[in-house]
């Protein structure tokens, strides 16, 4: 049975009842269009813009002294932002640092934690993971002198969209040295039970880490409570840190003191860094897993972006996100029945991340038609359409309008004007 009224007036009523509605004004939204691609790149907020301009001004005002002067001294910014990001991932302040990028941080963490010996030589991942993670894992296996064809285990999906956690646990065999899995699958938006998987890995003395790119800022995490060994993520999707913004990583405090696999001068303890010794004195917290000089202007927007998340709290953001995606799915069932669009994301709230995932044989051209009519979606090869209503800036009326536009495209077959082929950037 449907949960919602289907009129535009009902969507407007839901918006009036939304206790996060005021945050939409914090963002630069296109008043004539509907942005539903926040799971790829979040929109610019006025706070993020201000924090970027503030750090640009600190360079203008202080020159090199900006490293230690101003409201946000650059030398300590990675650790400061880590502390502010810690509540979002459910960690202690010293367990998180803002540094590197997703793949650089994955390389760092695998270099640190992947220690093949005796029969434990394999890395366990999954076949639905984002390609960059698999590339990195294969290269790390090669660097240790092993063949990825034999030493990378990719858990299979039964349906091509989701993973069965029982299958993952069954693959935690005695030859596995390390596990790397997504917190939320990038295509289908399935949420994995990180707590359960961590418990099962530790029962078998296996180190486990998670890629949080599609879960950070979207769902609630309790990394420290779950005793996760490590995690890594980007900050430009749900956290709205800007294109290519600096990533983040988490290392459980019980691993502090473990030598970083890829050392650099920002791995140093702060008071020793400028001694210029050729023997590293590594930081005694997550800061040890930095490598090189931080990209200050790629970190700057994160300052403003994080302030909103810590003001609102992840619980409220998650609650609204689930309401938005539930409403979206319900409208699709009613308004788009018979057009061949299949919902492939999990239906259950506890299994669904912050986006919905549709499949259609003409997905590439449907996405082009949506853009032409003012809706920004995300296409995933070969036939997937991702749509992400973001809690801080999307409305129920956005969703209602987007569904009506998609209905018009399908009913009138407007998509046939476009080639069924992805663009250079999909």
Q: What CATH number corresponds to the domain at position 82?
A: 3.40.640.10
Residue 5's pLDDT is: 81
At residue 422, does pLDDT exceed 90?
no
At residue 248, does pLDDT exceed 90?
yes
Query: In whole angstroms, how large is the CA radius of gyration of the chain?
Result: 22
In DSSP terms, 155 is beta-bridged to 126
Q: How far is CA 212 from CA 5, 221, 317, 396, in A?
A: 34, 9, 16, 26
pLDDT band at 124 (very low <50, low <70, confident <90, very high): very high
- DSSP secondary structure letters along 150-204: HHEEEEPPSSSS---HHHHHHT--TTEEEEEEESB-TTT-BBP-HHHHHHHHHHT
**116 occurs within a structural domain:** yes
Question: Does the annotation list 389 as a binding residue?
Answer: no
Cα–Cα distance, 384 to 364 (Å, whole number): 8
At residue 242, does pLDDT exceed 90?
yes
Question: Does the annotation list 130 as a binding residue?
Answer: yes
Report the length, in residues, of the chain. 426
Residue 4's pLDDT is: 61
Question: Does the annotation list 408 as a binding residue?
Answer: no
Cα–Cα distance, 147 to 229 (Å, whole number): 25
Does 148 share its domain with 163? yes
At residue 236, does pLDDT exceed 90?
yes
Question: Does the annotation list 395 as a binding residue?
Answer: no
**39 occurs within a structural domain:** no
In DSSP terms, 208 is beta-bridged to 179
Question: Does the annotation list 32 as a binding residue?
Answer: no
Helices (H), 144-190: 148-151, 165-170
Contact 242, 101 (CB under 8 A): no
Question: Does the annotation list 293 as a binding residue?
Answer: yes
DSSP state of 285: S
Count up the domains in the chain and report the number.
2
Q: How far is CA 95 from CA 212, 287, 322, in A?
A: 15, 8, 28
Question: Does the annotation list 121 as a binding residue?
Answer: no
Does 249 share its domain with 284? yes
Cα–Cα distance, 283 to 254 (Å, whole number): 14
Contact 66, 74 (CB under 8 A): yes
**38 occurs within a structural domain:** no
At residue 190, does pLDDT exceed 50?
yes
Cα–Cα distance, 397 to 13 (Å, whole number): 9
Question: Does the annotation list 211 as a binding residue?
Answer: yes
Range of the structural domain that residue 328 is part of:
8-32+314-417
Backbone angles phi, psi at 126, to 5 degrees: -145, 160
- SS3 of residue 58 by DSSP: helix
**425 occurs within a structural domain:** no
pLDDT in tens, 40-85: 999 999 999 999 999 999 999 999 999 999 999 999 999 999 999 9
Residue 336's pLDDT is: 97
Neighbours of 291 (CB within 10 A): 18
Does 78 share its domain with 218? yes
Question: Does the annotation list 361 as a binding residue?
Answer: no
DSSP state of 352: B
In DSSP terms, 117 is beta-bridged to 120
Biggest alpha carbon–alpha carbon distance for the chain: 69
**194 occurs within a structural domain:** yes
In DSSP terms, 94 is beta-bridged to none
Residue 421's pLDDT is: 84
Does 131 share its domain with 261? yes
Global pTM value: 0.96
């Amino acid at each position: 049975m449907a949960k919602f009224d289907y009129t535009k007036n009902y969507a407007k009523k839901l918006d009036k009842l939304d206790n996060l509605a005021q945050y939409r004004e914090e963002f630069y939204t296109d008043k004539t269009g509907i942005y539903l691609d926040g799971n790829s790149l979040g929109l610019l907020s006025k706070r993020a813009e201000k924090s970027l301009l503030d750090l640009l001004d600190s360079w203008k005002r202080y020159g090199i002294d900006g490293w230690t002067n101003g409201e946000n001294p650059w030398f300590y910014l990675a650790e400061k932002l880590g502390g502010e990001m810690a509540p979002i991932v459910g960690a202690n302040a010293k367990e998180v640092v803002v540094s590197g990028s997703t793949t650089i941080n994955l390389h760092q963490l695998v270099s640190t934690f992947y220690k093949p010996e005796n029969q434990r030589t394999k890395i366990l991942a999954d076949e639905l993971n984002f390609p960059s993670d698999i590339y990195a894992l294969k290269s790390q296996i090669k660097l240790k002198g092993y063949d990825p064809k034999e030493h990378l285990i990719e858990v299979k999906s039964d349906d091509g969209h989701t993973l069965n956690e029982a299958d993952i646990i069954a693959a935690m065999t005695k030859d596995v040295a390390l596990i790397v899995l997504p917190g939320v699958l990038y295509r289908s938006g399935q949420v994995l039970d990180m707590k359960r998987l961590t418990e099962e890995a530790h029962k078998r003395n296996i180190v486990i880490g998670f890629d949080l790119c599609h879960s950070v800022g979207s769902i609630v995490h309790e990394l420290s409570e779950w005793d996760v060994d490590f995690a890594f993520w980007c900050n430009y999707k749900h956290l709205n840190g800007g294109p290519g913004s600096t990533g983040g990583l988490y290392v459980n405090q019980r691993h502090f003191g473990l030598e970083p696999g890829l050392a650099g001068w920002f791995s140093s303890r702060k008071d020793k860094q400028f001694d210029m010794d050729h023997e590293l004195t590594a930081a005694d917290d997550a800061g040890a897993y930095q490598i090189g000089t931080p990209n200050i202007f790629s970190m700057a927007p994160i300052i403003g972006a994080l302030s909103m998340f810590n003001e609102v709290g992840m619980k409220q953001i998650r609650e609204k996100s689930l309401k938005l995606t539930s409403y979206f799915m319900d409208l699709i069932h009613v308004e788009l029945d018979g057009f061949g669009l299949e919902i492939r994301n999990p239906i259950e709230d506890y299994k669904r991340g912050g986006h919905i995932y549709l499949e259609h044989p003409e997905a590439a051209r449907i996405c082009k038609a949506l853009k032409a009519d003012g809706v920004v979606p995300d296409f995933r090869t070969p036939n997937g359409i991702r749509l992400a209503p973001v809690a801080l800036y999307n409305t129920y009326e956005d969703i209602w309008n987007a569904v009506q536009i998609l209905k018009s495209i399908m009913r009138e077959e407007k998509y046939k004007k476009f080639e069924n082929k992805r663009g250079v950037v999909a």
